[in-house]
Amino acid sequence: MPRNVSGIIFGPNEDRAKNRRPRHPLFSSAVRRTNLEGMNATAGDRLLMHGNTVGEKERGGVIIEVHGTEGGPPYIVRFDDGHTGLVFPGPDAVVVPQ
């Protein structure tokens, strides 16, 4: 007896893999990994880190050294409040070229 699964009728010997919808490319792990690795900067650019909880302020500073290959992280950043630190930016960070 055929079954109806999400609008597609399958017989007892029919292959379900042929009738699956292809995955959207934005949801593949390769695209997400490429977007995260795509951050690059040069000395003098600004790094803005958005607050990741409610009420947390955005932090910013000037990148003074780049330690990664091809402009990638980690960066030495002089923040607007005066302190300097080594930063491995997360997904809530943006590089603003100067």
- Indicate if the pLDDT at residue 29 is higher than 50: no
- Which of 14-18, 22-26, 31-35, 48-52 is predicted with the least confidence, judged by mean pLDDT? 31-35
Question: What domains are defined for the chain?
Answer: 3-35 (no CATH), 40-96 (2.30.30.440)
- Indicate if the pLDDT at residue 56 is higher than 70: yes
- Judge if pTM exceeds 0.75: no
pLDDT at 95: 93
- Indicate if the pLDDT at residue 51 is higher than 80: yes
The backbone torsions φ and ψ at residue 72, rounded to the nearest 5 degrees and listed phi first, read: -80, 170
pLDDT at 63: 96
